[in-house]
Structure 1
Amino acid sequence: MSTATESGTSDTASLEPLHYVGIVAAVVSGAVHLWLGVSFAPSPLGISFLFAGVVFVAAAVGVAANYRRGLLYRLGVPFTAGQIVLWYLFNFAGGEKSFPGDVGTLGAVDKLAQVVLIAVLIVLLQRE
């Protein structure tokens, strides 16, 4: 099981290629959410996008810094899965859009990054 570094700044020596895949996926999803948050701000939807974007980016930084990685993995799976469920509910189940025809490039990139992130987190959890 991972422990936090003494300095808390960086522990790239303990990162495996799978960690980097997860970090990139989290940063991609975080960037999409931050961009959408700025686009929709100051509405409640914009604030929720900003919150999610900050969480994704902060978690990626936390993993890179080896700050409580196990906890970040365990929290990351339901948080990211919840993002996918909420996206589907708001856009397709409760909206006028049809799935998958109206997903769009940004939605596809974000959801692909999130599915990859969940898969990476599950593998990392199994390795603990």
Structure 2
Amino acid sequence: MSTTETQALSPDLASLDSLHWVGIAAALVSAAVHLLLGVRMLPSAMGISFVLAGLGFLGAVVLVALDYRRRTVYAVGVPFTLVQIVLWYYVNFVALGKSFPADIGTLGAVDKLAQVVLLAVLVALLR
């Protein structure tokens, strides 16, 4: 084993630039919204899925902060975030028949704005 493999993981925040911090902020906003809504809906399946999504965003932030396979985290983050956006639209506006954009709601708007920003950051970081 190399020295790097045996060392404990520690944060590498010095290597993060402003684009990283925008992405981290967006991921934390989305995580907070998902955890808040998820806890409110527990123990339903939807509540569990929201909590898991929130934990997924938090886990990605931790991995990026630890500089653990950042490019892989970015690459996985793109479809993860896209699926969040598509599922949100489908569940709210197709399955439940809400009207778009009138029925978005504050938390939905904040979360989707954060996810669009996160998506743009992830794509930029991958390039």
Report the TM-score, using the length of structure 2 for normalisation.
0.93
What is residue 88 of structure 2 aligned with on the other side?
Answer: 87
Q: How does 1:2-17 map to 2 (within 5 A)?
A: 6-17=7-18
* Structure 1 residue 96 displacement after superposition: 2.5
Cα displacement (A) at 1:95: 1.2
Query: Structure 1, residues 35-61: CA drift from partner, whole Å, max 9, x if none?
Result: 011000000000000000000011011
CA distance in structure 1 between the aligned counterparts of 2:10 and 2:102, rounded to whole angstroms: 43
The CA distance in 2 between the partners of 1:118 and 1:61, in whole Å, is 17
> 2 CA distance for matches of 1:89 and 1:13?
39
**Residue segments in structure 2 that go unaligned for 5+ positions in a row:** none
Structure 1: tracts of 5 or more residues without a match: none
Superposition RMSD on alpha carbons, in Å?
1.4
1:1-128 equivalences under 5 Å are 6-126=7-127
Structure 1 length as normaliser, TM-score?
A: 0.92
Give the length in aligned residue pairs. Answer: 123
The structure whose Rg is larger is: 2
CA distance in 2: counterparts of 1:57 and 1:9, whole angstroms: 16
Partner SS state of residue 101, structure 1 = coil
Structure 1 residues 58-105: Cα deviation after superposition (integer angstroms, max 9, x where no partner):
101111111110110000000000000000000001112100000011
**Residue 15 of structure 1 aligns to which amino acid in structure 2?**
L
Amino acid at match of 2:38: G
Paired with 1:67 and 1:99, the residues of 2 have a C-alpha distance of: 39
**Structure 2 Cα separation of the partners of residues 64 and 120 of structure 1:** 15
What is the distance in 1 between the residues matched to 2:89 and 2:52? Answer: 18
